[in-house]
Amino acid sequence: MSDAKTRIDETVKSNDVVLYMKGTKTMPQCGFSSRVAGVLNYMGVEYADVNVLEDQDIRQGIKDYSDWPTIPQLYVKGEFVGGCDIITEMTLSGELDQLFEENGVSYDKDAAEKIREANG
């Protein structure tokens, strides 16, 4: 197993929620990363953010790890959930709330509802 894969595996398994993104949760560096981080931040989800721009091995490694070609990538309890479009759809349908509830991840239900109201 490569060093990058090992580091990714450890990060994904040791944090309830992880977002591999371009930039950081406080300073995203692409629109797609910004959208997903914005949803998680607004919903008050505690998550680890990994800036793929800081490490080329991780940037490519996360794509290989998930077999998913794009970044950002969200993981909940060690499982790959999806990228920006999937997270946006799940947020608007309420599926993201359900995923968090099933996995014991705390989030602000009112904030989630406000996102849906604003985009409904």
The mean pLDDT value of the chain amounts to 96
Provide the CA 100 distance to its chain's centre, in angstroms: 12
Q: What's the one-letter identity of residue 63?
A: K
User: 76 near 16, Cβ under 8 Å?
Assistant: yes
Classify residue 52 as left (phi > 0), alpha (psi -120 to 50) or beta.
Answer: alpha
Instruction: Name the pTM for this structure.
Output: 0.96
Residue 27: the pLDDT is 97
With b for 16 or more beta-carbon neighbours within 10 A and e for fewer, the 71-95 pattern comes to bbbbbbbeebbbbbebbbebbbeee
Beta bridge partners of 23: 28
Computed from CA positions of residues 78, 47, 35, 65, in that sequence, does the dihedral angle turn out positive or negative? Answer: negative
Residue 47: the pLDDT is 98
Residue 120: the pLDDT is 76
- Residue 1 — pLDDT band, cuts 50, 70, 90? low
Residue 2: the pLDDT is 78
Token pair for residue 5? 């894969």
